[in-house]
Amino acid sequence: MNLYIKTTVCALLILGLFVGLQSGSALAAEDEASVNQIQQTKADLSKLYAQLLTFKNNVIFHKEGLEEEDPESYQWLANVNAQEEIIDEHNGYPEPVKEAPEMLKDLAELYKENAGKETEDSRELRARLDSSLK
């Protein structure tokens, strides 16, 4: 191979590598949760937490809890699951925020089982949620 062809091939390889790296970092950036997105998710989860506290004493919730027969708690569960999907689709969420949707669901189950009353387990979960969502 003559020098011109070798130089051209090297230049194309370097250009291809550079373009590939740029594409890879752009894709990684798209998958990475932004600070604003993390804050919005925390705010949305905090609203869902507050909402749970408003219906935890509802007799229908104690009887049907998170099923279609209780539209309020059923919609709440769908919203928690939607937040969980958002977290799962992006990198960069802190571990406590990643765990928050599951903690909310666990807390709802505890409230259902105990007719909305606080227990040692629910107090512990609430403390963890408070810490995760601040």
Q: What is the pLDDT of residues 35-76, one digit of tens each?
A: 999 999 999 999 999 999 999 999 999 999 899 999 999 999
- pLDDT at position 5: 55
Q: Give the whole-angstrom CA distance, residue 103 versus residue 10.
A: 54
Give the CB-side neighbour count of residue 36, counting CA atoms within 13 A: 0
| Whole-number pLDDT of residue 30 | 55
What per-residue confidence (pLDDT) applies to 25?
41
At 33, the pLDDT band (50, 70, 90 cuts) reads confident
Report pLDDT for 65. Answer: 87
* pLDDT of 119 over the 90 cut: yes
Name the maximum alpha-carbon separation found in the chain.
85
